[in-house]
Amino acid sequence: MIRLRSVTKTFETPAGAFAALRGVDLDIAAGEFTAIVGRSGSGKSTLLNLMAGIDRPSAGTVAVGEATLDTLSNDRLASWRGRAVGIVFQFFQLLPTLTAAENVMLPMDFAGTIRPAERRRRALELLARVDVPEQADKLPATLSGGQQQRVAIARALANDPPILLADEPTGNLDSATGADILRLLGELSAAGKTVVLVTHERGALDGTTRTVTLADGRVVS
């Protein structure tokens, strides 16, 4: 499902070029619930960003599903991202002036997938699925962190992508709420989604089927 070959990513910094990933080879099969772990600064987010097509590798290839990301233009990459992957961030990244339901509808709007008349119904279904149906018409600022992250997961599911990518989704939540979120991701994995979870919390690994450990930009196990 996800295939990285000899992927290297270097950043230009004032102190010179810095390699955040060094020759990463990685295959993730469909339906797997993969946890990527490692210390802060080990390159986890960088790796996830490459899978999401949010960033491009300095060398090597990234293929996700049918798509070889390196060959796509920026706009095609964005459209592909809207349909093929759902992304969940540590800081939720909900648009502040849109309600929960509208935030969930936004990817459908950009991708033009669901018929406009269907969108709200689908958004409400997704919000019910992540257990925040009654928050549908509230603005993000009025929701708790856990509720916001649930809305963000519902948004990631908007276009029914086969892959979910989550970068420390519990990092900004208390442990109980965080556990709920991980359980939700587990359910989604069980329902057939390929889930990749970046975390540095050992406790998060319970429901996962596989653990990839990064250190200094290399896969060590």
Ligand X SMILES: Nc1ncnc2c1ncn2[C@@H]1O[C@H](COP(=O)(O)OP(=O)(O)O)[C@@H](O)[C@H]1O
**Out of 24, 33, 44, 219, the residue judged to bind ligand X by CB under 6 A:** 44
Told to check if 72 binds another protein by CB under 8 A, we report no
Told to check if 146 binds ligand X by CB under 6 A, we report no
Is 23 buried (19+), middle (13-18) or exposed (0-12) by CB count in 10 A? Answer: middle
Q: Is 121 helix (H, G, I), strand (E, B) or coil?
A: helix
**Out of 24, 26, 46, 182, the residue judged to bind ligand X by CB under 6 A:** 46
Choose between 166 and 208: whose C-beta lies nearer to another protein. Answer: 166
Rounded Cα distance, 27 and 45, in Å: 17
Told to check if 170 binds ligand X by CB under 6 A, we report no
Is residue 114 within 8 A of residue 108, CB to CB? The reply is: yes
Give the interface size with another protein as a residue count (CB under 8 A).
35
Rounded Cα distance, 177 and 149, in Å: 10
Name the residue type at position 154.
A
**Binding partner at 146 among Mg ion, ligand X, another protein, none, C-beta below 5 to 8 Å by kind:** none
Told to check if 102 binds another protein by CB under 8 A, we report yes
CA atoms within 13 A on the CB side of 199: 27
Question: Binders of another protein among 6-65, rule CB under 8 A?
Answer: 49, 52, 54-55
| Helix H or strand E segment including 185 | helix 175-190
Q: Taking contact as CB under 6 A, which single stretch among the options 39-47, 75-83, 92-100, 188-196 is the one that binds ligand X? A: 39-47
Told to check if 197 binds another protein by CB under 8 A, we report no
Question: Binders of Mg ion among 42-71, rule CB under 5 A?
Answer: 45
Residues 6+ away with beta carbon under 8 Å from 120? 101, 105
Give the binding site for ligand X (CB under 6 A): 11, 13, 18, 20, 38, 40-46
